[in-house]
Amino acid sequence: MFDLETNITAWTDRLRLSEKISEDDVLELEDHLREEIDELKSQGLSGDEAFLISVKRMGNITSLSMEYSKVNTEDLWKNLLSDASKNQNYYKDIFLVLVFAIIAGTLAKIPNFFGLTMDDLAYFKNLSFFILPVTAIYFGITRKIDKKIVTYVASVFLISLVIVNLYPSYSPNHTEVLTALHLPLLLWLVTGIAYTGKKWKEYKDRMNFLRLTGESIIYGSLIVLGTMVLVGFTAMIFETISIDISDGVISNIGIFGGTTAFMLTIYLVEKKKSVVENFAPILAKIFSPLFLITMIIFLIVMVYTGSNPSEDRNFLIAFDVMLVLVLGLVIYTISARDMNNRINIFDYINAALIITAIILDVVALSAIINRLTEYGISPNKLAALGENILLLVNLTGLLWYYGKYFKGKIQFKKIEIFQTKYLTFYGIWFSTVVFIFPVLFRFQ
């Protein structure tokens, strides 16, 4: 029995394989195909006949994608190279992912020879040096990035590695903890330069990197969750035959499992773009309204109970984590948005989310300033102050541009340009905390 829907799906999936055809184009062509089929069916053809003729009329898919490549010429050469050897590339990529995961895992074992273990702050501080340089090289190879850029990125990694480890650290080690927290963020941005290559200043490329970041977090969480289930299950079945594997085996496999999960995530998000592109906007649409409701309820409860984050340090930290989450979701929604769409309800939801985040940020800022005047300056408070100001400017800027966009004064693109340009300030701030704070506070 001929199933029309299955066949149409198969056809659109073929289209999606071509890197030249965007999801938007696929949907447009699918609608065209269906129209053609309906027309033929109304003339008395059966489903399979209509499908065959319509597909034939739509032309050879590869020739169609060739026509498309004339429009999206930006990286035509890449397509010409990869189309011929698609299958070969697939195995090559998987091989690369595995090799790089093993390299990263081995790197992560090195500190053990110096007597450092996972529990040491010094080990924790260096965590990003095991995986991110490897990721940067992976991007360099798979995305065929200019050698100069790769060298440049590598030297930034090297210099950071030396400086961070040469800095002494004295009790209570506040600046070292701050370094450990900010270094991965800074180096992730540096890795972003290896991802975008020569065009690292351009907003479209930066936006792609932001999208990659958001999707990596989602995919990464899925993979980690899956792994946890597997590990738990394995431990459980071994326990039934009275063998305890939870210590030795798992901690050894753990590192390699972790690096493999990381590289696999990057690979999946990068290569399986078409699947993700379908998935991402849906996720954004599910979670933004839910987040908005949560935030509004939280704000109401906070006002009603009269709680104040300046009284409790943990409350303040939770506050900031929530802020970052909301901003992350806002930016992810922006990056997942279809540029061609007109203003819709989700734009308003996103703007509302920004407003609630601004309120939260103002509350947090006043709490920090309260604590600063009450207890004096400390590295943690100064870092928190800087971060909250940075977030406040970011959020206000986004709201300002959203307002202009709603009035029809600017294109949506302008919002993206603002957000991507603003990334530079995060980079500057993260480097300040990592490199200047320790000196400023005498490495305490």
Partner 1 sequence: MDISKDLIAASSTPLVLAILKNKDNYGYSIIKKVKEMSRNEIIWTEGMLYPVLHKLEKEGLIESYWKKAETGRRRKYYRIKKEGIEELDKQKKQWEVVHSTLSKEITFQEEE
Nearest approach in angstroms of CB 22 to partner 1 is: 10
Angle 332-337-338 from CA coordinates, rounded to 5°:
155
How far apart are the C-alpha atoms of 145 and 78, rounded to whole Å? 12
Nearest approach in angstroms of CB 38 to partner 1 is: 7
Nearest approach in angstroms of CB 58 to partner 1 is: 5
Nearest approach in angstroms of CB 62 to partner 1 is: 10
Cβ distance to partner 1 smaller for residue 34 or 285: 34
Concatenating the DSSP letter of every residue in 50-78 gives: HHHHHHHHH--HHHHHHHHHHHSGGGHHH
Nearest approach in angstroms of CB 336 to partner 1 is: 15
Nearest approach in angstroms of CB 28 to partner 1 is: 4
Cβ distance to partner 1 smaller for residue 64 or 302: 64
- What is the separation of C-alpha 48 from the centre of its chain, rounded to a whole number of angstroms? 42
Cβ distance to partner 1 smaller for residue 34 or 143: 34
- Residue 35, both tokens: 């129209």
Nearest approach in angstroms of CB 73 to partner 1 is: 10
How far apart are the C-alpha atoms of 125 and 163, rounded to whole Å? 12
How far apart are the C-alpha atoms of 16 and 37, rounded to whole Å? 20
Contact positions vs partner 1 (CB under 8 A): 24-25, 27-29, 31-32, 34-36, 38, 57-59, 63-64, 67-68, 70-71, 338, 340-342
How far apart are the C-alpha atoms of 85 and 106, rounded to whole Å? 31
Cβ distance to partner 1 smaller for residue 207 or 331: 207
Calculate the alpha carbon distances from 423 to 222, 318, 399, 414, 427 in Å.
27, 23, 16, 15, 6
Cβ distance to partner 1 smaller for residue 76 or 264: 76
Closest alpha carbon to 185 in 137, 145, 132, 149: 132
Cβ distance to partner 1 smaller for residue 305 or 340: 340
Task: Check if the beta carbon of residue 430 is closer than 8 Å to that of residue 185.
Answer: yes
Cβ distance to partner 1 smaller for residue 64 or 322: 64
